[in-house]
A and B are shown apart, each in its own frame.
Chain A
Amino acid sequence: MAVLRPRINPSTRHFWDALQTDHIEIQRCLTCQHWVFYPRLICPHCGGRDLEWQRVSGRASLYTFSVADIPVSPDFAEEPLLTLAVAELDEGMRLATTLVQVKPEQVRIGMRLAPVFDHTTFPDITLLRFSPSPDL
């Protein structure tokens, strides 16, 4: 489910297209080798312009989280106890997401996470959520 569409632009479209096929593709700077998220025109680490899309596993650790005991905004009023999270991919970059298939009380910072491809009610949008995966 999704209530607000990501506002995609031509230079970020590739990221969303990959999610549609259950893959995660992130930009990597060919000049300094840093991973770059979110997608950009120029590497924020070195200024390099040669950014290449590379596939990653989506294995991650939980950097921090919070539980919205009251809805974060009117748009999310139907999503009780939304568990906001910051996932740190094993490659080092972080992204905003939500945790699914876990009770708020079970969430621990540092826990291992696996990607969950949420094919939303918007036909062209897959959101990248995460769930705990102790074996990863």
Chain B
Amino acid sequence: MGLKGTAALVGYAENKPEKIPLGGSKETNLEMSADLAWRALSDAGLSMWDVDGIVISYIDESEMFVPSTVSEYLGTCLDYAERVDLGGAGSAGMIWRAAAAIELGMARVVLCLAPAAYHLTPDGIPNQLAAWLRFGASSYNYGSPQAEFDIPYGHVGQNALYAMFAQRYAHCHGYDPRAMSRMVVHLRQNACANPDAFFYGKPVTEDDVLKSPMIARPLHLLEIVMPLTGGAAVVVADAQVARRSPHRPVWVTGCGESLVTKSPHYADDMLETPIGPASQKAFNMAGIQPTDIHAAQIYDCYSITVLLTLENAGFCPKGEGMRFLREHNFTWKGDFPMNTNGGQLSFGQPGVAGGMSLVIEAARQIMGRGEARQIRRCDNVYVSGTGGIMSEQVALILQGN
């Protein structure tokens, strides 16, 4: 059962995250997809004519029929295509879908696309961004349970909802704001070794984190991602293509996906996040354990997401996450290298490409292309993705051998 591990990441491309322009992005998501696709394929020694599968996230330009719109624009001829609707878990979700499609024989070379350009409506209102600012991860459409039972009470947006996890954690296990800030500082140190990170050259201290504005107690501004524009693409290919690749193939050997409720209120136990079962499935599939991991690229929309993922994925016992944060060094030089590109907290979060930046960093480290932040031995990497309000989570195991 599960993946055999015969599909591999063979190339990638990503844009440097930037502030979202007030007037909207100049580039369309289709243009950005084409640019990213050609660069990622070139990185893999391939061209558009090798592509027979596309997996993509949301784009501003189309509410539906996204894959065929993109295929037409790129000039591809596809045997497999889909749009993944898992929010921030979508990037990790795209990778295992691509690998599964390849193992099934549906495709040989699959492009995973996460462009994140933002446009204005004819009225001058930023499209996705306006909806995102107003309703966050919730829908105010007729018939949506969120429109009836969440939004009227102000259960909207992300910050205050993620803070409810932190409050519950504090009640059950205790809370150490300094341990959280220490981890945030380490991720910033990683970003300072990554010239493409948004916060490159801008180190912070624990006091900076603790003194940054309180957004939804106990979450400070510097514990929360900054939404940016950017984009990323990854090429997943079958074993025959992978073995001819210019880079060390990064095999997709384990995956898991879990989702139960959209709104976290209804979860049986809010602290048992879906990443637990997703990670167990991924580790079992790959036949390795958390102690075998050389680097973890953990979805870090908020500091609390990292803490709960470390615990529920099995990197430390439940309830001991704060101690784990105090005792380990999360920089690329440390004993537990984590989010070695700076993570979304310090690399930036360009939409779904934020999650893809973690996938790409995993591949980069396994390929040995980490440059100033290359960790010494990197064969086994854990990657996680999180969508909505801890609503949907995906785990991947990527391996070099």
Instruction: Give chain A's interface residues, CB within 8 Å of chain B.
Output: 2, 4-9, 12, 38, 63-70, 72-76, 79, 82, 84, 86, 94-98, 104, 109-110, 125, 127, 129
Contact = CB atoms under 8 A, between A and B. Distances in A.
A46 to B, nearest CB: 16
Give the one of A67, A72, A109 with max B CB within 10 A.
Answer: A72
Given A68-B154, A70-B213, A84-B160, A109 B265 contact: no
A134 to B, nearest CB: 17
B293 interface: no
Given A12-B148, A38-B145, A38-B149, A96 B136 contact: no
Contacts of B149: 6, 38, 95-96
A5 B152 contact: yes
A24 B153 CA distance: 17
Interface residues of B, number: 40
Given A5-B152, A127-B153, 5 more contacts: A66-B163, A72-B154, A72-B159, A86-B270, A97-B153
Nearest to A5: B152
11 contacts: A6-B151, A7-B142, A64-B164, A70-B159, A73-B134, A74-B134, A84-B155, A84-B161, A86-B270, A95-B149, A95-B265
Contact of A94 (B136, B143, B165, B266): B266
A86 B154 contact: no
B151 A64 contact: no
B377 interface: no
Interface in B146-186: 147-157, 159-161, 163-168, 171
A51 B263 CA distance: 22
Contacts of B161: 66, 84
Interface string B123-151: 00000000001111000111111011111
B204 to A, nearest CB: 20
A109 B168 contact: yes
A76 B153 CA distance: 10
B168 A64 contact: yes
B372 interface: no
Given A64-B270, A72-B159, A97-B153, A7 B164 contact: no
A27 to B, nearest CB: 13
Contacts of A74: 133-134
Interface stretch (B25-33, B214-222, B250-258): B214-222
A72 B157 contact: yes
A39 B214 CA distance: 36
Contacts of A94: 265-266
Interface string B349-387: 000000000000000000000000000000000000000
